[in-house]
């Protein structure tokens, strides 16, 4: 790039911005097409009971690999769908696939599904989600919805209404990425949740600094008092798992227990696990 200041630089920046916009639009078009073609997929990551390592449910995670663009992270395409106003159709495709897959699992396992902030700002969300799982035949008591503090904060009143309606129908709600947003404690008091998911940032530092250990300990004890379940996210090795167990954390999720896998691999994972359980009986 030229060292010259002034007009030249402005041209470089505006070209970069134009490039960026072009890429976003290309991404948007490809994503819209992928949704229509039913090519956006959903993978599942196990959530386990840390006391006995039994699988208790799976989190659904959106997956999209475009022929030209390659793998695109949901952290990129979910916000894009929100911005461009088609999160609803993306979410519907994903929930349909996820709920359908969950029908093949043992009935005691739950399905955890992420809600985006735009969905939490739309009062029609609760009835839309309930209609979908009703059509598919998934018991609402097997569904859990993950929401973040940031999403709740965007429109707290509407979010509260949606959460109340869903919980009245038997759906459980968990607070995702706990510890990373603002006003965490206030949210816990004002909102009715069932579960808290401790962000991976704390879990991944548990072996290197004592502070994270103390923070997790405090979250666990607070959740006990509030009668909330606790899940630790991002457990990557055995020593982290042992530490979290020792801290009294009830549930865990992470590469140590299983990476997100497609519906077929998930059935295989379950059949291996359940064969083990049957052999013990």
Nearer to Mg ion, 195 or 243 (CB): 195
For ligand C2E, the binding residue among 56, 99, 142, 146 (CB under 6 A) is 146
Q: Where are the beta strands (DSSP E) in 31-79?
A: 41-49, 54-66, 70-72
Rounded to the nearest 10 degrees, how much is the dihedral formed by the CA atoms of 240, 242, 246, 251? 80
State yes or no: residue 93 binds ligand C2E (CB under 6 A).
no
Q: Please report how close the Cβ of residue 211 comes to Mg ion at its closest, in angstroms.
A: 20
- Asked whether position 46 contacts ligand C2E by CB under 6 A, the answer is no
Q: Tell me how far apart the alpha carbons of residues 71 and 170 are, in angstroms, rounded to a whole number.
A: 35
Half-sphere exposure of 96 (CA within 13 A, CB side): 13
- In DSSP terms, 118 is beta-bridged to none
Here's the x/- map for ligand C2E, 220-239, by CB under 6 A: it reads as: --------------xxx---
Residue 255 binds ligand C2E, judged by CB under 6 A: yes
CA distances from 10 to 4, 7, 16, 18, 107 (A): 11, 5, 10, 12, 60
**Residue 114 binding Mg ion, by CB under 5 A:** yes
- Subset of residues 258 to 277 that bind ligand C2E, contact rule: CB under 6 A: 260
Q: Which of residues 170-199 bind Mg ion (CB under 5 A)?
A: 176-177
How far apart CA 165 and CA 168 sit, in angstroms, is 5
Task: Say how many residues make up the chain.
Answer: 281
Query: Of the two residues 188 and 241, which places its CB atom closer to ligand C2E in the complex?
Result: 241
Binding residues vs ligand C2E (CB under 6 A): 45, 60-62, 73-75, 78, 94, 114-116, 146, 176-177, 200, 234-236, 254-255, 260
């Amino acid at each position: 790039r030229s060292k010259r200041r002034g007009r030249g630089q402005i041209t470089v920046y505006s070209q970069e911005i134009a490039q960026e916009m072009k890429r976003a639009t290309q991404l948007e078009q490809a994503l819209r097409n992928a949704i229509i073609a039913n090519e956006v997929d959903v993978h599942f990551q196990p959530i386990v009971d840390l006391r006995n390592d039994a699988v208790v449910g799976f989190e659904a995670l959106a997956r999209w690999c475009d022929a030209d663009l390659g793998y695109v992270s949901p952290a990129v395409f979910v916000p894009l769908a929100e911005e461009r106003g088609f999160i609803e159709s993306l979410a519907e495709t994903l929930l349909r696939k996820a709920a359908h897959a969950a029908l093949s699992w043992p009935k005691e396992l739950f399905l955890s599904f992420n809600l985006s902030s735009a969905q939490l700002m739309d009062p029609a969300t609760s009835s839309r989600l309930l209609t979908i799982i009703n059509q598919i035949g998934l018991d609402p008591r097997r569904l859990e919805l993950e929401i973040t503090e940031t999403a709740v904060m965007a429109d707290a009143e509407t979010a509260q209404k949606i959460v109340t309606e869903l919980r009245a129908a038997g759906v459980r709600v968990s607070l995702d990425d706990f510890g990373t947003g603002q006003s965490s404690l206030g949210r816990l008091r004002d909102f009715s949740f069932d579960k808290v998911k401790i962000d991976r940032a704390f879990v991944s530092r548990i072996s290197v600094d004592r502070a994270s250990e103390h923070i997790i300990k405090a979250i666990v004890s607070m959740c006990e008092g509030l009668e909330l379940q606790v899940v630790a996210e991002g457990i990557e090795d055995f020593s982290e798992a042992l530490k979290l167990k020792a801290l009294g954390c009830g549930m865990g999720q992470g590469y140590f227990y299983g990476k997100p896998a497609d519906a077929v691999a998930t059935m295989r994972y379950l059949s291996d696990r359940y064969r083990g359980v049957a052999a013990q009986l």
